[in-house]
Structure 1
């Protein structure tokens, strides 16, 4: 099966989510939430991410996670990840209870494509304080892809992780998971990167992006937002409309894509210092905002 066929299948089976110019959406991906060990890349940005997540919750945004939210290649079970970042999941649960949470699976959390696995591991958690099971993401659905459709213009935005264009990480993800657990996780602690990861292999990253761009052209410039490569992308209107929200494991920062007031923006949250030397977490606009309608193919 080619990358084109895999992307076509993801598109054809994607649930359609309506939105309009009053909708407020935040898109993150590649959080790679781990167990707070030395190999947990998310741990360095946990406070930045939690602060940003609180902001979007208060401001009424809908949260979309485009895959690889949980690091289930390095970690065998979700339980250790949940205990390490319990405050994050409790906040995500508030989004879920208000029907503002949309989750997509990637290659590192591809086990979530199985609804039975999701129901067994994510519906409840054990609270050792009172020895009881408590609800977490009861009834949650993980998707391979989603299609946002504007209720007035009919414009579609295709959301997916992007590993459909990466044969090794889509077809052979179980082998990749095994190699990461037994080989690359211990080496990562001493600074040796996994060469099979497109985020750490520039040539593979470029090949994946080219495959997705060719697919977008076949679909007549369907606006697409993905993750997987960890490299933020924000094209100008008139260019191939392939966006990438980056990741939440950049050094000392996280990046994402906001859609608000019918406009799209690439943003970054990072730690900055005030003139008096105290530290603060700030939001920075990297690209945009650009009007979504400007990306409609004439």
Structure 2
């Protein structure tokens, strides 16, 4: 199956979420939450991410995670990830209980496409202090893609991880996972990058982006937001409407996309120093806000 067919299949099977100009969404992807070991890229930014997510929860945003939230290639079991970042999952549970959490699986957490795996690992956890199991994300469903559909205009925003355009990391993801576990994870400590990852291979990144843009053109320039490459993208109106929310494993910062008041923005959260020498987590607007209707057909 070609990348174009994989993207079309993801779109046709996508979960549809209605929205309007009062809706507020925050889109993050590629958190790669790990076990807090030397290979856990998320660990460096976990405080930034947690602060940002708390902000969005208090502000009433809906959280959509566009794949690779959990690093299940380098790590064998979700339980180790949960123990390392328990506060994050407790916050995700708050979003979930408020019906403000929507999850997409990517190549590094592709096991979540299996409802049985999700049910067995994410429904509950054992709390040693109380000596019993406690609910976590009981009944949660992971999707390959999401379509946000405007209630009045009918305008659609297609959300996916983006690995559908990456034949190796989609079709042969089990081989990729095997190589990461036995080869690239040990080499990572020496600074040797995985050449099969588009986030670390610029030529492959460009090829992948071209495939996604080709699909967008063939499907009437539908707004598409993805992750996977870790490279933020924010096109101008009139350009091919391909957005990328970046990742949460940039050095000392995380990037994401906000949709609020019918507008879309690319944002960054990072640690800044005040004149008094106090460290603060701050939000920076990188691009936008731009009206979604400016990208209409």
Partner Cα distance (2:85, 2:191) in 1:
23
Alpha-carbon deviation of 1:190? 1.8
User: Is it true that 1:20 corresponds to 2:20 in the alignment?
Assistant: yes
1:103 corresponds to which residue?
103
Query: Structure 1, unaligned stretches of length 5 or more?
Result: none
SS at 2:18 equivalent? strand
2:164 corresponds to which residue?
164
Please, which moves more after superposition, 126-135 or 72-81?
126-135
Partner Cα distance (2:114, 2:42) in 1:
24
Alpha-carbon deviation of 1:130? 1.7
Could you state the TM-score of these two structures normalised by the residue count of structure 2? 1.00
Deviations 1:52-107 (A, max 9, x none): 00000000000000000000000001000000000000000000000000000000
Alpha-carbon deviation of 1:142? 0.1
The alignment yields a C-alpha RMSD, in angstroms, of 0.4
Alpha-carbon deviation of 1:191? 1.1
1:36 corresponds to which residue?
36
Deviations 1:234-255 (A, max 9, x none): 0001100000000000000000
Alpha-carbon deviation of 1:261? 0.3
1:192 corresponds to which residue?
192
2:82 corresponds to which residue?
82
SS at 1:198 equivalent? coil
Alpha-carbon deviation of 1:15? 1.4
Partner Cα distance (2:177, 2:68) in 1:
13
**Residues 115-154 of structure 1 correspond to what in structure 2 (within 5 A)?**
115-154=115-154
Deviations 1:79-138 (A, max 9, x none): 000000000000000000000000000000000000000000000001111210000000
1:64 corresponds to which residue?
64
Q: How many residues align?
A: 297
Query: Structure 2, unaligned stretches of length 5 or more?
Result: none
Flag as ranges the 4+ runs of structure 1 deviating above 6 A: none
Partner Cα distance (2:277, 2:2) in 1:
53
2:181 corresponds to which residue?
181
User: Is it true that 1:215 corresponds to 2:215 in the alignment?
Assistant: yes
Partner Cα distance (2:190, 2:123) in 1:
35
Partner Cα distance (2:129, 2:169) in 1:
39
Alpha-carbon deviation of 1:278? 1.1
2:4 corresponds to which residue?
4
Partner Cα distance (1:16, 1:25) in 2:
14
